[in-house]
Chain A
């Protein structure tokens, strides 16, 4: 009996997706409930099958060696939206575009604008911890999570956090899951913190040489304005022949008016407000641009050193596809690079205590350099211990450390 036949017997014919087989003809299995995911992973653990975790397959390269692919795409329900409590519960396989629409219909807003295509799944964004420019105003992905339910590599269904705004009952497994790339289990359900749909949402841009727009960003930061996004986009990403500084202000009409007034005093008043459709196109292109590159990584340094960090990245791997948040000190890079080059860059960054996280790349590169690279002294055994806790049989194929393992 083949693995596909066994999987079909386990979860039913409809759970095996036809016509979507990956290279090597590995079966793609789409459980339709958290319990089915638990059954599947429990069986995989018993059978010694290796599992590749996937959402819609639009972000991470679908090439990790595995005996089958577990896709969350049939876990796409949004069981609860509570606009009055500013919370929602969604399954991990729901596409962000669909989720955003359903939330907006009820007056809710998830203040996340991750890189990638609009239909990227919620689970993918949480597992990879990929926040976008809105991180400036609303924090990293983990700050939008109230709780998660996940299935461990050996099929246990585990709950972390809850559905309310504050929760310190038990250890914070929710934060552990955010950005762990599936090393600690498959996320199946997410409880989200929402905002109300902004009453006003304006974007201002300044185009020019990198030094010019970076200086304007410094002015805005020094003014303690607190925009929702303050992003430097490379020419390719901003679809311009120059660098773009994009400033997004969301909230009440009065709040935005005061932001506008303050922005008029920056960079000699040369910031220009975009029309709503232009702004939407700018931010969408900036997000989707990264999906066209084979590799993306993020680095996180001190705000004061953001410019030097950009120089270093430019010097070592180029800066054609770069989005930088100077207020946060974070930079996202997209492009092509060899493992050797990435390892050299990571080593250079480590000397200034700046972590480099590979967000997406072909498996061979992920295996070689790992999402996280070498851990700091003493941290590796902790991560390995957590891996053993949540995936005792190492069934989930995830390249976390630089050796491609845990």
Chain B
């Protein structure tokens, strides 16, 4: 019989100190959401360990008392993945925020999970290096959270997502045992358990040390802004650039609704307000000449495919401004309505024009405002629905529209999440993507790491869709 989280407060306080155990309702409700407003869970207790030893002790204590736990970073996730029920303890890792080592010669660093993403790049800058995954929330989100979600970002088009940059992990399993996965150089020591762990959404263990690859800063950068009269033209221009063989560092799209939200905000970047869509294209490399030549070729492709105008950032300041508009677009959309659902799906790049039109139709049918700002080069869509969550009818329409958008993406050969994770929000769509055997296999893999299923329970794999659930039902009917 699991203990009540509250009954463990004295023991938790003895491990981390009383000030780092939150029990008052007013304190716990600050953790009842992540970045997605449609899911709320209030944790039974919130604990904030400050060292790896404290993490281990907390996990062992909870294991001894059979109490579920949910690891959490900065809480910027967008899938309801880091939410804990009242019967569970939320383990917040933001105090483990030290950069343990930067090894510029081997282009590697070791960090604790609570290190904020952008801090690592800032620390590596002195060596001409940076940490490549750059989610829009990078000024707040943590590397541990990035590992849990396999986070992406605009520059992942060229440099790869989080899993391409994680070399090794120290992981505390659900029973408190500590294992080392990977190796200092990044090759697996056996099967690729680092690859399996990254993106496991806190369901396999808690990463307490993370070895990452650092990437040399490019010597030459060109940033282009192209604007289009229709979404379809912008989508087709994306396909043309990708098909050319040039791999931009980033290739981002924003639609009219998003452009106007940004331009009306303090993050105004000078995007043309009358455009149906803009593309932000960045090219980089080790040599000025080559990057300039590629930028000229991309500009010609954009114009051929219908760009009304293409302008290049004149200097680092203008580049910064163009990117600030893109990265703060989600914040700017806060102006449109009280609540915002940031959706996440991926489609084949060539399907972008059709899927964008489908999203427009779905939004119109449900009388909703959908703004698109996304990683077009990867086909990674973020249709964002602005709404007033106090109105149950509107909320129901948001849920229905989200489901229809996911269905359209799956029908186009895509997937339901490219970087935000399944969490709670996408559970219902998993059976549309995977059959029972595949879902059951995933659940069995979880049990290898977490036999009692106490780590972030109820996330990622919907239990009812699994074959084993069928077996449970059969056993129950037989009884």
Dominant SS at the A interface? loop
Query: 1/0 contact trace for A341-355 toward B, CB 8 Å?
Result: 000000000000111
Within 8 A of B (CB), among A154-173: 156-160, 162-173
A57, CB-defined interface residue at 8 Å: no
Query: 1/0 contact trace for A286-309 toward B, CB 8 Å?
Result: 000000000000101111100000
CA separation between A198 and B246, bound complex, in Å?
A: 10
Please determine whether B191 and A386 come into contact, CB atoms closer than 8 angstroms: yes
* Interface stretch (choices A48-56, A79-87, A312-320): A79-87
Residues of chain B within 8 A of A259, CB atoms compared: 287
Please determine whether A167 and B348 come into contact, CB atoms closer than 8 angstroms: no
A329, CB-defined interface residue at 8 Å: yes
| B150 partner, pick from A156, A164, A172, A372, beta carbons under 8 A | A172
Please determine whether B187 and A300 come into contact, CB atoms closer than 8 angstroms: yes
| B348 partner, pick from A85, A170, A183, A378, beta carbons under 8 A | A85
Please determine whether B195 and A178 come into contact, CB atoms closer than 8 angstroms: yes
Kindly provide the distance from the CB of B178 to the nearest chain A CB, expressed in whole angstroms. Answer: 7
Please determine whether B191 and A183 come into contact, CB atoms closer than 8 angstroms: yes
Residues of chain B within 8 A of A86, CB atoms compared: 242-243, 349
Known: A139-B164, A171-B442. A166 touches B195 (CB 8 A): no
Kindly provide the distance from the CB of A111 to the nearest chain B CB, expressed in whole angstroms. Answer: 11
Please determine whether B285 and A255 come into contact, CB atoms closer than 8 angstroms: yes
Residues of chain A within 8 A of B348, CB atoms compared: 82, 85, 87, 163-164
CA separation between A159 and B290, bound complex, in Å?
A: 41
Residues of chain B within 8 A of A85, CB atoms compared: 242, 348-350, 379
Residues of chain A within 8 A of B350, CB atoms compared: 82, 84-85
| B179 partner, pick from A329, A354, A378, beta carbons under 8 A | A378
Residues of chain A within 8 A of B439, CB atoms compared: 170
Query: 1/0 contact trace for A158-197 toward B, CB 8 Å?
Result: 1110111111111111011011100110000000000111
* Smallest CB gap from B156: residue in A: A166
Residues of chain B within 8 A of A175, CB atoms compared: 163, 192, 195-196, 198
Please determine whether A196 and B441 come into contact, CB atoms closer than 8 angstroms: no
Please list 24 pairs of residues, one from A and one from B, whose beta carbons are closer than 8 Å in the complex, sorted by A's number. A82-B348, A84-B243, A85-B242, A143-B164, A158-B441, A162-B415, A166-B375, A168-B149, A170-B422, A171-B460, A175-B198, A183-B191, A196-B244, A226-B285, A252-B245, A252-B293, A255-B294, A258-B289, A259-B287, A302-B103, A357-B187, A376-B179, A379-B190, A400-B190
Residues of A within 8 A of B (CB): 82-87, 107, 129, 139-140, 142-143, 152, 156-160, 162-173, 175-176, 178-180, 183-184, 195-199, 223-226, 251-252, 254-255, 257-259, 261-262, 298, 300-304, 328-330, 353-355, 357, 372, 375-379, 382-383, 385-386, 389-390, 400-401
18 further interface pairs, Cβ-Cβ under 8 Å (given A85-B349, A300-B187): A84-B242, A84-B350, A85-B350, A152-B441, A168-B417, A169-B417, A172-B163, A176-B192, A179-B192, A196-B244, A254-B294, A255-B290, A301-B184, A302-B108, A329-B106, A355-B189, A375-B189, A390-B441
Which 9 residue pairs across A and B have the least CB separation, nearest first?
A: A175-B195, A300-B187, A258-B287, A196-B245, A166-B418, A385-B448, A254-B293, A378-B179, A372-B190
